[in-house]
Amino acid sequence: MASEFSKEVKSSCGIGGAREPLLDGIHGPESYSASAAILPFLFPALGGLLYGYDIGATSCATISIKSATLSGTSWYNLTSVEIGLITSGSLYGALIGSLLAFNVADILGRKRELILAASLYLVGAVITALAIDLPVVVIGRFVYGMGIGLAMHAAPMYISETAPTQIRGQLVSLKECFIVLGMIGGFGVGSILVDMVAGWRYMYGASTPLAVIMAIGMCWLPDSPRWLLLCAIQGKGNAQDLREAAILCLHRLRGPAIGDSAPQQVDEVMAELYYVGEEKEVTMGEIFQGKCLKALVIGAGLVLFQQITGQPSVLYYAASILQSAGFSAAHDATRVSILLALLKLIMTISAVVVVDSLGRRPLLLGGVSGMVSPFPIYDCSLDLWEISETGKLSIVYILLCHSERTVCVTSLFLLGSYYLFLNNAFAVAIVGLLLYVGCYQISFGPIGWLMMSEVFPLRLRGRGLSIAILVNFGTNALVTFAFSPLKALLGAGILFYIFGLIGLASLVFIYFVIPETKGLTLEEIEAKCL
């Protein structure tokens, strides 16, 4: 049945003939209802919000849980190692979640993986909030972290596979805004509850309503049509039934605006999948060969540089930088942390606004230049006059890219110079910190996750993303762990200079390796960029 159906689709769409189905770049914009596109983004994005909330809430919960008067426990006298277990428990859970996703993601599908993630968020939060001793707290943090690993794996896939091509970049990048919103929410809830007895229990328990909403919402949403079609062409079920299910899902995802064109769009996507060879299941050997290897280099390379340019460490050291500039009181530190998160949100929104007009490469090159380079690098293929001619965002482009010419030595080198030569120039440290955070949030922050969700071929997307996310969380843990001993050995100034040099290497990587995927369907990206 599957074989006969595949022949019919190939024949009807011109496979094997002279025409490449929709890979010629002349396809028109996809019709969709804006109201119908909101919920397929919103419920997966809650997985990112719950991840960010955990980061913000934990920073306050660790203060509460080790207080003799506020912890509400008899085991409040915790060592630094025990506090580290509470803080990093979710991170190690996320690593296990990424490994789990490698094996089960393509079997479960994007929808059921997100339902499982929401369930783990809920169970982990309840276990932590009701914990009777430290080991139970760590177990709860670990379970919650597994939810993080699955959510950060499935959410970009579901959003990228269901979003209309013309707004795919904005929606996937907007997920980063939800992470930052979660951080702000975590800081806010934590600052309110930090003076309450057993406040840490309420901080962790406060995430449970969102986890329930996420689970219910994902149960209501349709499956990813592309995942259903992948199952159809690989013979994992009745091909005709899966095609019909994909058509129904596409109707729900696009709303009334799609009209009667859903069957044609589904057949065109199937034809593209056959053309690029998606009917064969990827093997372990293939992951490290050909276009699969290229996609892995792009996706994993971006998140590797995202972490080893010092992102976890700069944020970790933010409190020290701010204290040296006079923000020493605890309430001042909390307020400034919220302001820093608001800056991250504003800059992420800036990237979301322009990512589908400017493209991915200009934001990466311009933003990373602001993080590390005295000589900003731009994408010479981008014509400013062309952008101006469209009447869209030329002023934003000038602000994001060309204003950096006035910066003589940028953020990481500013921070390094502050600790080596400019100890009394507090303004230099503040400018360096804010510039780093801002430039990171218009480049590596949202664009790294976006590119990961776009570049992997459909049959590799589940496993490829799990490898990239494993690299992300693993490198994050390594950099965070290594920062303190390296700082003690080399000093903060030298360490920031090293991060800056690594950042220069990341610019070379972006310039020569990262393709532009703006305006291309996921199938076109596979055919033309890999």
Task: Note the pLDDT tens digit of each residue in 129-143.
Answer: 999 999 999 999 999
CA 261 to centroid of chain Cα atoms: 32
Question: What span, in angstroms and rounded, lies between the C-alpha atoms of 155 and 160?
Answer: 8
Q: Which tokens sit at 197? A: 């007895």
Average pLDDT over residues 235-240: 87
Answer yes or no: are the C-beta atoms of 270 and 13 closer than 8 Å.
Answer: yes
Q: For 248-262, 306-320, 371-385, 402-416, which range has the lowest pLDDT when averaged over its residues?
A: 371-385
Helix axes 330-358 and 426-441, enclosed angle (nearest 10):
40
Residue 479's contacts (CB-CB under 8 Å, 6 or more residues apart) are 307, 308, 310, 311, 312, 313
Q: How many helices (H) and strands (E) does the chain have?
A: 24, 0
Average pLDDT over residues 371-386: 45
Contacts (Cβ under 8 Å, ≥6 apart) of 439? 347, 367, 368, 369, 370, 371, 410, 411
Distance CA 14, CA 100 (A): 39
In terms of Cβ atoms closer than 10 Å to its own Cβ (0-12, 13-18, 19+), residue 485 is exposed
What is the pLDDT, as a whole number, of residue 374? 47
DSSP helix/strand/coil, 176: helix
d(CA 471, CA 300): 6
Mean pLDDT of the chain, nearest integer: 80
What Cα–Cα distance (Å) separates residue 86 from each residue in 10, 81, 405? 54, 9, 43
Residue whose token pair is 């100034």 = 493
Q: Supply angle C-alpha 479, 361, 44, rounded to 5.
A: 65
Radius of gyration of the chain from Cα atoms? Answer: 24
Distance, CA of 413 to chain centre? 26
Q: Which domains does the chain possess?
A: 35-221 (1.20.1250.20), 224-278 (no CATH), 287-377+394-529 (1.20.1250.20)
The angle that helices 80-129 and 34-65 make with each other, rounded to 10 degrees, is 130
pLDDT by residue (tens digit) across 289-329? 888 889 999 989 998 998 888 776 666 566 566 666 565 54
Q: What tens digit of pLDDT does each residue of 473-503 get?
A: 888 878 777 777 887 788 878 888 888 888 8
| CA-closest candidate to residue 51, choices 129, 136, 120 | 120
pLDDT (0 to 100) of residue 512? 92
Q: How would residue 209 be classed by pLDDT, with cut points 50, 70 and 90?
A: very high
Could you tell me if 187 and 55 are in contact, meaning their C-beta atoms sit under 8 angstroms apart? no
For 206-236, the DSSP string reads TTHHHHHHHHHHHHHSPPPHHHHHHHHHTTS
Question: CB 216: neighbour CB atoms within 10 A?
Answer: 13
Q: Among positive and negative, which fits the CA dihedral 310, 313, 319, 325? A: negative
Segment 19-46 shows an average pLDDT of 71
Count Cα neighbours of 392 within 13 Å in the Cβ-side half-sphere. 10
Among 9-13, 129-133, 220-224, 262-266, the minimum mean pLDDT is found in: 9-13
What does residue 202 show for φ and ψ, rounded to 5 degrees? -70, -35
d(C-alpha 332, C-alpha 24), whole Å:
56
* Cα 33 from chain centroid (whole Å): 25
